[in-house]
Every structure is written in structure tokens, then in C-alpha cells.
């Protein structure tokens, strides 16, 4: 079985193009592939399947490192878009994935630099039912935007005193924690305590964020199903949206720069709650290879990670 290794700002994926021969790995097989000691090693597995719409290039499925379904992945979308645009048609400038939720466009890059790809994502959701989330005292049609966790009695999580919390859905759920202490807070402690909290029955991605300047924010991410990652594309979109909802402003170019340990993304918003999101950043192909015939044997002797 052929595979590609790709990454977006260090958020790395094993890409399996199964459009001609559809196949879906088990959660155990996903864990083996992503194991950095026994497998190829990655934050997740991306599966390309035959398109179901006439104007779509492929159906994309993303699996987290623990084998769970990843729903939507911004860095993964950029990687897949770059791959499809390079392999399926040099003359193409844009490609559509799945059911039209995301359109991907190649951006001209300087010689010798990674491909720059822009993804157009659906408008964000702010209702608790969009995430989903169940919070005492707030209706499913209500939201949690720029609020102190103390105000809503968020229990059992040691958060900095100045934290402002916003919940955003960008096809997958995100908890944005804005605080001046974002660089110093323990992501390994806060991430799972918030991400696996009873308020979020499907789990939630967690971001510690500091506003550096108007239109420039820095974030650290704990992803459900993967843990701390170097970058999160949909998370960067959620952080930009949360900043806008809290009264933040874009930079002079109209874009919001989101800095992560793996590098920077640029997010464009049209200023309305209903507007779609533009995410711009690099996509890099690292290697191509072939899995050995017996790569998926010997699971019984392993301890699940």
C-alpha cells in the first residue's frame, strides 16, 4: 500500500489515496500507522476516497492518532488540496473536497519555499448545540463568548485568573482560552481537563491564546484524540473568530496572523457571524513510500497508547 507523509506547520499526516481501491483502516490500524516507534508516525491519517459529488475531487476522511474520527482538519485540508492540485491537474488553481464545505486554492509561492494553500471554510457556529456542549444555565441555542469561566461556574480546572473563554464550531468544536499567561500555563494539564470535561460530550479542542497585537495572536493547542500538536488549522480559524467576536481587529492587510509552535497561518474574516473563513498557510510533502506486507500484524503484543 502506497502512502505519503505530509505536514502543515509540523502537524503531520499519513495520506492514503484510496480513490481507485476504497479501503478504510480500523482504529487499531490507524494507531499502528501513527505510532512513531512501530509505524510511520503522525498526528493523524488522511484517507482519500472516491468523490460523491460531480464537482468534487475526492472525499476526505481524517482519523486522529488514537483512531477516532477527526471530523474536519484545516492543516490536513491544505495538504490534500496541494496534493490534488499537483497530481490531478497542473492547470488547476482550485479544487473542491467532499460536499463543497471546503474549496482549496493554490497561492503563488516564492521559488524554493513550501506551497502556500488557501482553504475556504464554512461560516463558524456559536450555539452550544453546534459544538455540542451542555452548560448549566445556558440554553442549547445560547452561546459562550468572551466569558470568564468563573461566571459560568466552570468547575475543577486550574485556569489563570484573567482567562476569557469562547466556544466556537468550525466543523469541529474548539474552546478558546484567551489569557496573558498562555505561554506559561500547563497545556498538558489544562488541555485534557477542559477537552474531556463533562460539558463536552464529544470532547473539544483546547487553545491557550495570547493577543500580541491587533491582528496578531499566539496559540498553543491540545487536540482531542492527539494531545499537544505543533499547529491546528481549524483551531487557528476558531481563535481568529473568537478574537473578532470579542472585539479584536485584523491587521493592516485585513488578515489575522495566528502564530503557533509550528509556524504561522493567516486567517481572513468578512466581519459577519455568517461569513465564511479563509485560512492561508503552507503544505509540505515530506516523503512517499510503500507499507511492508505485514505492517498491520502483531497488535496483540502492544499496549494501546
Q: Is 73 a catalytic residue?
A: yes
Q: How are beta strands 102-107 and 2-8 bridged, if at all? A: unpaired
- Cell 493592516 belongs to residue: 252
Active-site residue among 34, 79, 172, 232?
Answer: 232
Residue 80: asked if its preceding bond is cis (omega within 30°), the reply is: no
Active-site residue among 34, 73, 172, 237?
Answer: 73
User: Read out DSSP for 64-124?
Assistant: ETTS-B----HHHHHHHHHHHHHHH-TT-SEEEETTTTEEEEEE---TTSPEEEEEEEPPP
- Cell 483512531 belongs to residue: 67
Alpha-carbon gap, residue 14 to 291, rounded angstroms: 11
Report which secondary-structure segment, H or E, holds 45.
Answer: strand 44-49
Query: Who contacts 220 (Cβ-Cβ below 8 Å, separation ≥6)?
Result: 182, 183, 187, 207, 208, 228, 260, 261
Q: Is 34 a catalytic residue?
A: no
Query: Who contacts 182 (Cβ-Cβ below 8 Å, separation ≥6)?
Result: 208, 209, 210, 218, 219, 220
Cα–Cα separations (whole angstroms), residue 1 to 7, 19, 296: 20, 13, 11
End-to-end C-alpha distance for the chain, whole angstroms: 24
Report which secondary-structure segment, H or E, holds 267.
Answer: strand 263-269
- Cell 500555563 belongs to residue: 185
Active-site amino acid positions: 73, 232
Amino acid at each position: 500500500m502506497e502512502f505519503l507523509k505530509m505536514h502543515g506547520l509540523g502537524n503531520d499526516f499519513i495520506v492514503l489515496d484510496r480513490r481507485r481501491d476504497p479501503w478504510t483502516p480500523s482504529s487499531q490500524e490507524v494507531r499502528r500507522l501513527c505510532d512513531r516507534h512501530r509505524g510511520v508516525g503522525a498526528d493523524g491519517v488522511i484517507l482519500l476516497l472516491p468523490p460523491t459529488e460531480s464537482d468534487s475531487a475526492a472525499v476526505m476522511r481524517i482519523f486522529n492518532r488514537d483512531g477516532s474520527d477527526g471530523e474536519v482538519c484545516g492543516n490536513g485540508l491544505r495538504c490534500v488540496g496541494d496534493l490534488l492540485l499537483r497530481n490531478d491537474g497542473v492547470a488547476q488553481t482550485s479544487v473542491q473536497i467532499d460536499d463543497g464545505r471546503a474549496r482549496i486554492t493554490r497561492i503563488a509561492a516564492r521559488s524554493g519555499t513550501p506551497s502556500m494553500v488557501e482553504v475556504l471554510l464554512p461560516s463558524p457556529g456559536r450555539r452550544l448545540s453546534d459544538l455540542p456542549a451542555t452548560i448549566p444555565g445556558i440554553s442549547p441555542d445560547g452561546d459562550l463568548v468572551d466569558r470568564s469561566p468563573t461566571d459560568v461556574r466552570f468547575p475543577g480546572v486550574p485556569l489563570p485568573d484573567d482567562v476569557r473563554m469562547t466556544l466556537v464550531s468550525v466543523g469541529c468544536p474548539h474552546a478558546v482560552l484567551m489569557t496573558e499567561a498562555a505561554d506559561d500555563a500547563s497545556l498538558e494539564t489544562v488541555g485534557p481537563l477542559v477537552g474531556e470535561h463533562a460539558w463536552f460530550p464529544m470532547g473539544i479542542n483546547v487553545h491557550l491564546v495570547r493577543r500580541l497585537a491587533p491582528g496578531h495572536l499566539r496559540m498553543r493547542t491540545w487536540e482531542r484524540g492527539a494531545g499537544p500538536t505543533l499547529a491546528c488549522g481549524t483551531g487557528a480559524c476558531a481563535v481568529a473568530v473568537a478574537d473578532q467576536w470579542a472585539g479584536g481587529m485584523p491587521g493592516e492587510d485585513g488578515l489575522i496572523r495566528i502564530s503557533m509552535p509550528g509556524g504561522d497561518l493567516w486567517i481572513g474574516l468578512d466581519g459577519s457571524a455568517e461569513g465564511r473563513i479563509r485560512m492561508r498557510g503552507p503544505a509540505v510533502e515530506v516523503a512517499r513510500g510503500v507499507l511492508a506486507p505485514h505492517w498491520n500484524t502483531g497488535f496483540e503484543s502492544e499496549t494501546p497508547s
